[in-house]
Structure 1
């Protein structure tokens, strides 16, 4: 059911971008869809989404709101990317069973530098009216006096209401500790919205589905302090057709930065999505027109493999460039069709001691990122899913590397060169 399918059936969007966001599946919750549509139809709208610097790369689960910002910029609006250099020091407690690890200033700075790369690939930054801008909330949060914050902002927040939000209530019902530090996060995110409204005229905050309570807090704060109508919108938190959280695999998160995950492995993630997810992911994670996606979605049987390659190519091109996507596709075809290790595959280099003594196969599978644990590696070996240079290995043992690299494979689609 889309926001257009209300019982009254009376809402018809004035703005093309509103319909695009709905038809492609970017809207989960919105404070006032007709109001948002009026804003879009009235001219350039600054709209922001915030991202804490908890790691030096984003993963594919973060891409939904970023791609929504991309759609908005393509439609003539202005994306604002807020990097949480200040809020990262606290950690968002939303739907978490434990507090995030506390990071040092140097770690946060390194993470900020790392995640900037993702936005620079997907958005156009500059000084024009619809060019994206990037801000860091440390610029104002670090300067905020505690007493001033309590007096000017804290008085507008009801603890009773804050406790009622699902993200907080779930934590308390499970009797998990929620520190006073984390409890302040909602207020600080609202301050971000207030600050961006004053600095840039930002009228819409966009975030993932787990940010709804925080976003509502910001909308309410703007109404109380500035007397202005602003809006909040969330994108869906995606799971695959089988219920796995988007961006998670057995080996861990699917990172966007190449230093965390090779373009080849990134391509393989998209190539191996479930059949039921292909059309949905083409809408969300590629720039292909909807009519072309509809045509591709009619593919069945073996033809669907070609559609999955198209998804992998388009998604990888956005994150790593067209050349990297084409090379990943070529590498995959070489790896599946030839016995030798193909150039461009992810590589693991053994140290001198490992080359001399060899490496136990289960340890090598974990080291290569093909298994997340030794027990998982043993199950793969027992199931005859592990190959070395194309030959099935059905027993654990020590693997030695001679003068030539070998190709270690798990199943038919995951390969690593071991040197």
Structure 2
């Protein structure tokens, strides 16, 4: 299959080389990038690599994969301080993001070779890593074949197989399976990813479920605020709904939902925490115009208040533990949502709207684990909150599931570090 791939590639290059040459000449973003990926300047780069130290080459496809790798790169630097860390990204946007990531502790950024056999062979022999780490995806037959030929250990980290990818890999199994088998180990995000990889023909002993690297970047630290309900002026017996990191347009909807709810649950208290505290005064005005009794965190609460606007910085994550239900802002309007793991870590049932694009993987996992509810409209949100307020046992069950969800995902980086240590030893 590799021979067929290279034959097709050769025929393609025969017809496409004038177009590629035109790209290099006319497009600034390709003028340096394509020659670099063909190996021009490689010897000069290699001369910057210190001799006598283990080399780890980390490769990510684009911005998303680079972002996923950041905490792991820091962990590798911490646990393997003598290693030379080489980093590459396949796309120009990924490389730009990697170079701009504050303090990414790598020794050298290197281009990733175009998957032409002589080019790949020169790159691998020149850079000669002791370990190659591929983040999530970007499988290239010649490159992985050469890694195996040079007896270099390779790890796939943060691997994931969507249903669409699984169908593609299954249909072209003869093409993809040799690449998957090139890896010493394949560290997948979820058990279902492990099962898919094994069903494709990879030996079960090579495939591990180590979790999603993104979690170590966004998991909240334990401990935190010592603020009590008494400090806020909220009676301990009152059900408390916290709407965290809300955006313009959401507070209006949340106030309408709240007004419906207080008809059934007159003691309900709502804490509104706008994402930008500069908006606190505008939110306060909006709530007052609704005829609701409202205070601010800085101003203090009275016993008959119904709402509080959080107008202080750095307190929200620690306040979630005081609530009975948490709503994640930026999700009823198209803002991409915010971190749902903060209330989940405190054992609080979590709700959010449909706009959680910035945390899509986390949301998918939480919904699959049954520890969160996604409400697509005001009415759905109203019904979901009401159901929780009516059923204390259900609330506790969902909160416990949320806490367990978070705890089971701690330590993803260390599991990867242990695997890297095993391979390097």
TM superposition score normalised by structure 2:
0.31
TM superposition score normalised by structure 1:
0.31
Larger radius of gyration: 2
